[in-house]
């Protein structure tokens, strides 16, 4: 039975999903999350607020920082392995490496920085280019909601981009802890949802293969009967 490129891609993704499901610690599923965005949009502040429930006024730019945080999301325990990446131009060569290892991505911009909003699409394009798939879990975040008086990106623009990217959207404030938990929990839900979708596709492909094998067996039997 010939399998279309789309089905073959789904099977490969399912195999990757199964490998990811085996990544557990103490019985908890580990979710590999990558936070992307330009420098200065508040990626580190957002991540630290989620992990430590604290806000730092200033955070030194870094190549990368890794954090782990336990959470119960929809009644199911999860261990979030979070990679906070650098947004400075000199570190862009490392993005492919980040992109390959992540299961889900938070694309962050600042509502006070229009350029960071325009770059959000480029981060999505990079994910698709490296992963060869458009079906990667993503959450779009407009950070620094507390700086409303400096707003350069309207809420409606963020909502429109999220529809274009087919992903959840939140405006957050790391300083006020506004919708911080919601962002990370939503991404875990997106990962779980897409895993289920891939498993359903794989099950359909298996059923088709099984039907084809049975049909071939019947045809062989009929052909042998006629020859005899």
Regions in the chain scoring below 70 on pLDDT? 1-22, 24-26, 58-63, 87-93, 202, 205, 207, 210, 218, 221, 225-228
pLDDT at 59 (0 to 100): 65
Inside any domain, residue 60: yes
Does 212 map to a domain?
no
**Residue length of the chain:** 228
Residues ≥6 apart with Cβ < 8 Å to 145: 111, 171, 172, 173, 176, 178, 179
Any domain includes 208: no
Structure-token match 């979710």, residue found: 31
How many domains does one find in the chain?
1
Task: Judge whether 200 lies within some domain.
Answer: no
Domain at 138, CATH number: 3.40.50.300
Q: What is the pLDDT of residue 10?
A: 47
pLDDT at 84: 92
Q: Count the neighbouring beta carbons within 10 Å of the beta carbon of residue 152.
A: 14
> Do the domain assignments include residue 227?
no
Give how far the C-alpha of residue 202 lies from the chain's centroid of Cα atoms, to the nearest Å.
Answer: 20
Classify residue 202: in a domain, yes or no.
no
The reply to whether 29 falls in a domain is yes
Question: If you compute the radius of gyration of the chain from its CA atoms, what whole number of angstroms results?
Answer: 22
Position 197 scores a pLDDT of 87
Tokens of 187: 């991404």
Task: Give the range of the structural domain holding residue 35, as residue numbers without chain letter.
Answer: 5-195
* pLDDT value at residue 93: 63
DSSP-derived secondary structure for 115-140: HHHHHHHHHHHHHHHHHT-S---EEE
CA 46 to chain centre: 17
- Per-residue pLDDT of 121-168, as tens digits, reads 999 999 999 998 888 999 999 999 999 999 999 999 999 999 999 999
With respect to residue 205, please indicate whether it lies within any of the assigned structural domains. Answer: no
What local confidence, expressed as pLDDT, does residue 25 receive?
A: 67
């Amino acid at each position: 039975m010939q399998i279309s490129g789309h089905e073959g891609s789904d099977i490969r993704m399912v195999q990757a999903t199964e490998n990811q499901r085996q990544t557990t610690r103490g019985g908890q599923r580990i979710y590999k999350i990558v936070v992307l965005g330009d420098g200065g949009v508040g990626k580190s502040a957002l991540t630290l607020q989620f992990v430590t429930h604290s806000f730092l006024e200033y955070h030194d730019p870094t190549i990368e920082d890794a954090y782990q945080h336990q959470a119960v999301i929809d009644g199911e325990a999860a261990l979030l392995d979070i990679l906070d990446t650098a947004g400075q131009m000199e570190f862009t060569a490392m993005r492919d490496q980040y992109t390959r290892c992540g299961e889900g991505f938070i694309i962050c911009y600042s509502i006070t920085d229009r350029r960071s909003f325009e770059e959000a699409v480029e981060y999505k394009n990079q994910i698709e280019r490296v992963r060869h798939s458009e079906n990667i879990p993503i959450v779009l975040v407009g950070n620094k909601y507390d700086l409303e008086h400096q707003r350069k990106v309207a809420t409606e623009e963020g909502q429109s981009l999220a529809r274009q990217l087919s992903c959840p959207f939140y405006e957050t404030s790391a300083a006020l802890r506004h919708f911080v938990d919601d962002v990370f929990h939503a991404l875990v839900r997106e990962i779980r949802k897409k895993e289920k979708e891939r498993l359903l596709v794989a099950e359909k492909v298996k059923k088709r293969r099984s039907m084809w094998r049975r049909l071939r067996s019947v045809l062989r039997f009929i052909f042998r009967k006629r020859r005899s």
